[in-house]
């Protein structure tokens, strides 16, 4: 996803892209990401709350689904 643009030293405008990837694999975790996140209380999502403080956004990001 393109989040910003900048101009390099030659005056060429370039895109700044960011990608958010959720890895849900048994190679890294003993259980699925969905099950692990359900073990947490709402106030234990400290870093998530920092970036998605709005209640609607916070609840949306905590749901299981596809994020593009």
Q: Would you state the pLDDT for residue 1?
A: 81
Distance from CA of residue 51 to its chain's centroid?
A: 9
Buried b vs exposed e over 17-33: b needs ≥16 C-beta within 10 Å?
A: eeeeeeeeeeeeeeeee
Give 2-59 pLDDT, tens digit per residue: 889 999 999 999 999 988 877 766 666 677 777 877 888 888 988 888 888 888 888 8
Q: Would you state the pLDDT for residue 6?
A: 92
The residue ranges of every structural domain in the chain are 2-62
Question: Is the pTM value of this prediction over 0.75?
Answer: no
Higher pLDDT, 14 or 1: 14
């Amino acid at each position: 996803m393109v989040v910003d643009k900048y101009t390099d030293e030659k005056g060429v405008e370039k895109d700044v892209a960011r990608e958010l990837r959720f890895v849900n694999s048994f190679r890294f975790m003993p259980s699925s990401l969905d099950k692990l996140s359900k073990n947490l209380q709402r106030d234990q999502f400290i870093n998530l709350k920092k970036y998605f403080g709005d209640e609607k956004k916070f609840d949306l990001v905590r749901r299981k689904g596809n994020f593009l």
